[in-house]
Structures are given as C-alpha cells and as structure tokens.
Amino acid sequence: MNWALFGASTIASQYMIDAIRGQGGRIGWVVSGDAVHAAAYRAKHEIGHWSTAILEALEDPGIEAVYISSTNDKHHAQAMAAIGAGKHVLCEKPLALDPSQAREMIAAAQEAGVTLAVNHHLRSAGSHRAIRDLIAKGAVGRVLSVRVFHAVELPVHLRGWRLDDPKAGGGVIPDLTVHNADTVRAALGEDPVSVVAEMAATGLGKGVEDSAMSVWTMPSGAMVFSHESFTHPHAESGLEVHGTDGSILARGIMAQEPVGEVTLVNAERRTPVEYDKGGLYAAVIRDFEGAVAQGRAPHASGEDGLKSLLIARAVLAAAQSGTRQMIEYGDKK
C-alpha cells in the first residue's frame, strides 16, 4: 500500500516506517504543522513528499492509506478528512478525545467503505496472543482477577505535550490507561461495567495526571487492577492473570518490542511459555493490510478504540469525582 503519514512523529520514525516498508509498502507523504521539521523528516526517511497541509496529501490519488500519529486532539479532524477522501485509516490511540468524535469516525468509515483501525499494538504482541490462548484454553480455570502494571518512566524524547497540555490530550490516562483497557478487553473478551480510581501528579505532570490507579468490575465477576505512571524509572511492567486453576505471570511485556517473559503457574509446576517474537508493529501493518484486502475488521477496530476510550474516560471521571463510574457502551455520549 502507498501511505501518507499525518504527524512526523517519534513512533513513526522508530517503528512504523520500517513496519510499513517491511510489508512492501511505500510512503508517499509526510505532513506536519512545522515546515522545517516536515522537510527534514522527509529527507531523513526518504519519503516522496512533505507538506504542512493534509489536503495536499489527500489529493494524491496514489495514496491508499493514512497513518495518524499527531497529537491526540488532531486525530478526529485528520481521520474525518482522510475518510472523506476515501483513504483507509490507521490511527494512534486514543482514537479521539471524546466518544462522540470516535463514533462519528466509525460511522463515517462504515459509510465510506474504508477500514478504520487503531494502533493498539500490544494486542498484536506474541506474548499477549499467547496469554489470550492460555485463558481461552482454560489453563487458569475461571479468571478471578487481573493485575496490569504499566508504571514506567516516560522517555525524555516523548515528554512535552503529554505532561503539560490537557487540550492536546496529555496525561497518563489518555496515554496508557487506554492501552491497559484494550489489553484487558482482548485478554478476557469482556468489557468492564464500572470503575473506581485515583490519580495524581507525582513529579512530571504539570496540569495533567502522571500517575493513576483504578479497579474495574467485569461482567464475569473478575476484578481488574490497573496501574499506570510516567514517573517510575526502576519499575517493571507486566500483566498477571489469576484463576481458580492457575496463574499467568508476565513480566516486561507492556512494551514496543517483542520482549518479556510469560510463565504459567499451577499446583504442579511453573512452565515458561514460548511465544512469537515477531515485531509488534509489523504485525499491526500486516493485519491492517489484510483487513483492507479481505474486507474484514482489523484486530483493533474503531469500535475497539471507542471502548478503550470510554474506559479511560470513566477512570478519569472516577478519579476526579471520587465516585464509582458506570460505563455505558451504547450510543449515549
């Protein structure tokens, strides 16, 4: 496929450009609001054209898909423009800042007959796929609880609007809670019905939260604990699934690389779990292009992006109000 990049971003530079080209794709345009940055980015990555105007790229009939990695507040407008131009869209998380915007994007993509996917890359990791398979096979019995720990230190090169600009979608909840939400939803195959939460600015956040903890109630009765932070330089990320017949202990897997260890523990033994060590973003692009070619839903669809957004916003509302929040997944705003 021939792609346009909306946002001359770090994630595109470090991962997505190689992932697209690794699947035989081409990158025809990069668009950034900063002309100097866009021109330098185009030259560095040998991209066909650069612009500060998304419409210029969308007018190119050769462009088939758009990858959006601009600041969170730009996702909705850029995606709507791309969908309106008949382009397929892979959007960074969160899909939008507001659920009504996400629903508009989903409806527009359906009407236009184009694919809308969200780059929830963790569900594409071999480690997370292996965990889902173990749960589905009944390796831990009935799931009783899940613990997600995604408290890390935000790398210096990613700091900026994430730490001080709520209007752009800054804060650890829009950045990491949405990842945890999608990870839990994919693992358990169910959506939380309510949440309670706390949040704080513990060293980096200026006007936004940089740490949060929440507990979610699942329809099955399972309990989920989610911890995310930008301020933990020595912490280890991971996921634990505890059931009536065993536990899955995964360390280091909440990452952009195919790394970490997964162990299945039961009354008899501790068993290391082997998993596919292929690149996460290559898997995302491979699935996206397959979804376009086959006319099927991508692994992380617009609906998945909406649900993770609704969960994250419920966590934020619970932390702000100090009260339990029920989560409504219907057409209500």
CA 268 and chain centroid, separation: 36
> Within a 10 A sphere around the Cβ of 284, how many other Cβ atoms?
28
- Nearest CA to 140 out of 36, 291, 44, 265 is that of 265
Question: Reduced to 3 states, what is the DSSP secondary structure of residue 61?
Answer: coil
> Within a 10 A sphere around the Cβ of 190, how many other Cβ atoms?
13
Could you tell me which residues come within 8 angstroms of residue 97 by beta carbon, excluding any fewer than 6 positions away?
A: 72, 73, 75, 76, 169, 174
Taking every pair of Cα atoms in the chain, the longest distance, rounded to a whole number of angstroms, is 62
Question: Reduced to 3 states, what is the DSSP secondary structure of residue 111?
Answer: helix
Per-residue pLDDT of 109-150, as tens digits, reads 999 999 999 999 999 999 999 999 999 999 999 999 999 999
- Nearest CA to 109 out of 298, 281, 294 is that of 298
Domains and CATH numbers, the chain: 2-121 (3.40.50.720), 122-281+310-326 (3.30.360.10)
Global pTM? 0.95
Phi-psi label, residue 131: left if phi above 0, alpha if psi -120 to 50, beta otherwise: alpha
pLDDT of residue 165: 82
Axis-axis angle for helices 302-321, 178-188 (nearest 10): 120
Query: Would you say residue 330 has pLDDT above 50?
Result: yes
Query: Would you say residue 24 has pLDDT above 60?
Result: yes
pLDDT band at 333; cut points 50, 70, 90: very low
Beta bridge partners of 224: 146, 216
Could you tell me which residues come within 8 angstroms of residue 110 by beta carbon, excluding any fewer than 6 positions away?
A: none
Question: What gap in Å lies between CA 309 and CA 133, rounded to an integer?
Answer: 25
pLDDT of residue 331: 52
The answer to whether the beta carbons of residues 134 and 264 sit under 8 Å apart is yes
pLDDT of residue 332: 44
- Nearest CA to 114 out of 285, 298, 305, 300 is that of 298
pLDDT band at 167; cut points 50, 70, 90: confident
pLDDT band at 170; cut points 50, 70, 90: confident
